[in-house]
Structure 1
Amino acid sequence: MLCNIRKVVSAGSLVLLAAFSTAAGAAWPDKPVTIIVPWAPGGSTDILARVISEHLGKSLGQPFVVENRAGASGNVGSSLVARAKPDGYTLLVGSMSTHTMNQALYSKMPFDGVKDFTPIAKLALVTNTMVINPSVPANNVAEFIAYAKTRPGEIAYASAGPGSTNHLSAALFEKATGITMLHVPYRGGAPAVLDTVGDRTQLLFTAGTQSLPFVKDNKLKLLGVTEADRAPTLPDVPTVDETVPGYELTVWYGAFGPAGLPADIVDRLNTEINKALKDPEVVSKMESMAVQVVESTPEQFSQDLARDAEKYDKLVRDLGIRIE
């Protein structure tokens, strides 16, 4: 009798221990994990997500599968993660646009970029370039401003669509310099680049991944970068701020989970992601695309997210950009 009681108690303890271990996240991951990229395949965000997923799959023993769910400037894919169960099996590689700009740009949003997500790690900074068609007789930012001021409304700038970082960069530039230009929105970054190369538009603010190959072939002229500091990969290229004090727009990528993601899973992911970003091959691969990997804690990323959400919300509203 006593032996049977002991067996029952022991079995019950094992059940409780197993339940506790599962609740604490010790068993995670015990099945494949989905990483949502809210843009089409082939871009720097997608490439970065796939590099990280490969590392996580090896280090954590389960497949990390990248799934591209593009649409509505990143809102479609991001909303899937915002609504997902916070169990660590649905993650997101998003950007500053999806989490700090879209809230102010769109009159109807399917999520809150800060409240509906758990920041895991800031992943990288994207070198955002200011390029012009060689037909424009300017070799630096100051010369371009002087040229544009004599031709109000005549210079056309391209963007990947209303509310894109290309659009915001140019609108901010107009406001900071007092010049007036014509906005030509496209459905994506590729046609915006090609039409600037073809001189159908004359100016484009875009990621170096898209512009630098054309700069190398002398089909575009590189005037500056939009970050606060010069890019480590382009040390001889000035920032726009060096000519237009106070001008700054930094584009970053980050890893997120749904709101309420357990802290132990967040910490584990953050540790493994930071390990992947230190790999010399990863660093070299991303630098070749003008992307600078960074290291952060969840707490640091959370603070950056909140600060930038407030900053860009005000900026977008001040510029009067709105997407219905």
Structure 2
Amino acid sequence: MINRRTLLGAGLGGCTLALSAPRPRAQESWPSKPIRIVVGFAAGGATDISTRVMQPKLTAILGQPVVIENRPGAGGNLATETVVHAPADGSTFLMGTIAALAINPSLYASMPFDPQADLVPVAMAGNVLNVLVVPADRPWRSVPELIAAARERPETITYGSSGVGGAGHLAGALLDQMAGVKTVHVPYRGGGPMMNDLIGGKVDYAFSTAPTALPQVHSGRLRMLAVPTAQRLRALPDTPTVAETLPGYEVQNWYALVGPKGLSPAIVARMNAAMRETLSDPGVAATLEGHGVEPSPSSPEELARFIRVETAKWAPIVRATGAKVE
């Protein structure tokens, strides 16, 4: 497992000094108009929810309206391409995910952009808890029971995800591979639409982000079987890990803010500072944590290194699962 705390924590002292230095004039004049943050999934999904939690504080800090724009499709690629082609004037950013920034380059046969070459890292936003959930009317109460059902009925058990290439998709594909079963992936255009069908029983299970799933677990509409982390979580001590059934199983999720290539270092530094201040706000942090998102601010340089590491990590896993999108 990649230790995000160690990776993202390195070099923070130097970053603090850089942010406290006198601001260039270009930085002082920005922003002069509303700022758009593009989200690659439908409203109501975890990426959308988390970004909207940050929105009011960012607006207050920057002194300009921060507007969320949902552009779902292709596992976040449509939103990413929108930002790649946006003016590099600080008016448009992407709340990127593990899918668009690290997994999709290995998953898609061809990509209209290169996340590392065509985007500028700004700041890590948070690490996101995913949970394995099933509709309350399904009989399975453990990962072994779900796997047994998949073995008895090959290619009939379905799992939903927020889109092709997302953590939920790869989590299901990895479960199939490690358990030696064949289930059917049903991709949606975001966690919100997927959750509606999961609650309605149109799909059998999902590795859903906690912000989307936990309210439904608490309401009794869904049953939580496991978490895909390496160890049990302090917040959910009675919930087993998938690795307790399939040793070595682990899938994590994360969000990060990036901008179009050519974005000035002054604007990057100002937006990074705004993200740090937002994520350190007690109210914002508590709300995010309540949704299963751990605020994890970083410097732009740390985020760039992290994206490189995650991209290299997921490439062999995607190949091993056989997942591919034309």
TM-score of Structure 1 vs Structure 2, range by shorter chain: 0.7 to 0.9
State the Cα distance separating 1:189 from its structure 2 match.
Answer: 3.5
- Cα 1:200–1:279 shift into 2, 3 Å: same
Any idea what the Cα deviations from partners look like across 1:64-101, whole Å, max 9, x if unmatched? 33233333322222112112333322211111111112
Partners of 2:137 and 2:33 in 1: CA distance: 55
Structure 2 residue corresponding to 1:308, chosen from 307, 310, 321: 310
The one-letter code sitting in structure 1 at the alignment partner of 2:74 is A
Contact 2:160 2:187 in 1 (8 A): yes
State the Cα distance separating 1:277 from its structure 2 match.
Answer: 0.8
Partners of 2:302 and 2:224 in 1: CA distance: 32
Contact 2:133 2:207 in 1 (8 A): yes
Consecutive unaligned residues in structure 1, runs of 5 or more: 1-19
State the Cα distance separating 1:188 from its structure 2 match.
Answer: 4.3
Alignment-derived partner of residue 62 in structure 2:
60
State the Cα distance separating 1:137 from its structure 2 match.
Answer: 4.3
The one-letter code sitting in structure 2 at the alignment partner of 1:292 is E
Alignment-derived partner of residue 3 in structure 1:
none
When the two structures are aligned, how many residues end up with a matched partner?
Answer: 304
- Cα 1:64–1:152 shift into 2, 3 Å: closer
Partners of 1:21 and 1:188 in 2: CA distance: 39
Structure 1 vs Structure 2 CA RMSD: 2.6
Contact 1:127 1:231 in 2 (8 A): no
Contact 1:226 1:247 in 2 (8 A): yes
Any idea what the Cα deviations from partners look like across 1:152-193, whole Å, max 9, x if unmatched? 444332334443432211110111122222334445444543
Identity %: 40
Is the deviation greater in 132-141 or in 202-211? 132-141
The answer to whether the aligner puts 1:264 opposite 2:259 as a matched pair is no
Contact 1:196 1:202 in 2 (8 A): yes
User: TM-score, with normalisation over the residues of structure 2?
Assistant: 0.82
Alignment-derived partner of residue 208 in structure 1:
210
SS in 2 for 1:254: strand
The answer to whether the aligner puts 1:87 opposite 2:97 as a matched pair is no
Consecutive unaligned residues in structure 2, runs of 5 or more: 1-22
Contact 1:130 1:223 in 2 (8 A): yes
Any idea what the Cα deviations from partners look like across 1:261-292, whole Å, max 9, x if unmatched? 23232222222211111112112222232222
Contact 1:34 1:64 in 2 (8 A): yes
State the Cα distance separating 1:224 from its structure 2 match.
Answer: 1.1
User: TM-score, with normalisation over the residues of structure 1?
Assistant: 0.83
Alignment-derived partner of residue 41 in structure 1:
43
State the Cα distance separating 1:198 from its structure 2 match.
Answer: 4.1
Partners of 2:81 and 2:127 in 1: CA distance: 23
SS in 1 for 2:67: strand
Aligned residue runs from structure 1 range 214-293, under 5 A? 214-231=216-233, 233-293=235-295
SS in 2 for 1:115: helix
Contact 1:153 1:182 in 2 (8 A): yes
Any idea what the Cα deviations from partners look like across 1:287-312, whole Å, max 9, x if unmatched? 23222222222222111111111222
Q: RCO higher in 1 or 2 (8 Å CA, sep ≥ 6)? A: 2
The one-letter code sitting in structure 2 at the alignment partner of 1:43 is G
Moved over 6 A (4+): none
